[in-house]
Amino acid sequence: MQNQREMRLPKKITPDRIRDSIVQVFFTSDIPFDPLIGYLYSYLQEKGYSYTNRPIPPKSDLSVTNVQATNVFEVNLLPQHLFFNEDVKILLNQNGSIIFNCLNEYIGWERYEAVIKEVLGFLYEKEVLSGFTRIGIRYISEFPNISIEDHLNVSLNIEKLDATLQSRNFRTEWLHGQDKLIIQFASKLPINAIVTDSGMDVEFVSLIDVDVIRENLAIYDMDSLMKNINEAHKLQKSSFFCMLKEEFLQTLNPEY
């Protein structure tokens, strides 16, 4: 892949390809789980969020429920206490974590980071949360009717195999400093032929899944937390773009 230090990262591509933009923060707290729900409920209700204990349907017609053989890309977001507005959904987990995800269209990192900082900052200021131990940033991008392996700076060939490869799934893990970097992609996953809102007839979809995990943390202030979240997000973003061949990237209308 292209050297991440040398690559100029786009601010956005059009159309947006992000299907899931998951930010998960594990915390410590001296408060039992049920009162913690109450603190979050009271605060988010004032901010205009709604509450549900039921799953929210995926934003995309090309959801994993329509894709065959995509277990590797399943995201465990079974909601127990889920808050949402028109932009973002927030899940409070009993495993001691809060999960953020954009609900419909990706709102851009500047706005998204502001939401994360506001919510976690409130809970920390009220001493509901006492510290932070782990951060996960996971973005999943989808490419309808695109055989993605043709456009990656990754070569996957099986020599001496006399067969026609119809689809590919690939997963690898690296250690990048203090971060664990997990990259997965699936190419040409067949789906039932559908037509999207844009009128596109979709017969298959490719996915790129980039997950950055920063763990064994002992963070006790918001400035350090947001610094770590931003660093993990930057690694996720640079890892995604450095996988794409330059000629393919230009077809995605990058804006710098």
Write out 50-106 in H/E/C secondary structure: EEECCCCCCCCCCCCCCECCCHHHCCCCCCCCEEECCCEEEEEECCCEEEEEECCCC
pLDDT at residue 165 above 80? no
pLDDT at residue 244 above 70? yes
**Residue bearing the bigger pLDDT, 55 or 100:** 100
pLDDT at residue 119 above 90? yes
Domain residue extents for the chain: 18-251
Per-residue pLDDT of 18-48, as tens digits, reads: 999 999 999 999 999 989 999 899 999 999 9
Q: State pTM to two decimals.
A: 0.84
Classify residue 95 by burial, with Cβ atoms within 10 Å: 0-12, 13-18, 19+. exposed
**Residue bearing the bigger pLDDT, 132 or 34:** 132
Task: Give the closest residue to 83 by CA, choosing from 95, 96, 94, 99.
Answer: 99
| pLDDT at site 23 | 98
Beta bridge partners of 144: 205
The DSSP element (H or E) to which 34 belongs, if any, is helix 33-46
What's the rounded Cα separation, in Å, for the pair 180 and 232?
10
* 8 A C-beta contact, residue 94 and residue 53: no
Task: Give the closest residue to 136 by CA, choosing from 86, 85, 101.
Answer: 101
> Where does the pLDDT of residue 192 fall: very low under 50, low under 70, confident under 90, or very high at 90 and above?
low
> Of the given ranges (134-138, 195-199, 222-226, 240-244), which has the lowest mean pLDDT?
195-199
* 8 A C-beta contact, residue 146 and residue 167: no
* 8 A C-beta contact, residue 204 and residue 189: yes
Across the chain, mean pLDDT equals 84
| pLDDT at site 175 | 92
Greatest extent of the chain over all pairs of C-alpha atoms, in Å:
63
Per-residue pLDDT of 150-164, as tens digits, reads: 898 876 565 665 555
Positions of E strands within the chain: 18-28, 50-52, 82-84, 88-93, 97-102, 131-144, 168-176, 179-195, 201-214
- CB neighbourhood size of 208 (10 A): 24
| pLDDT at site 75 | 47
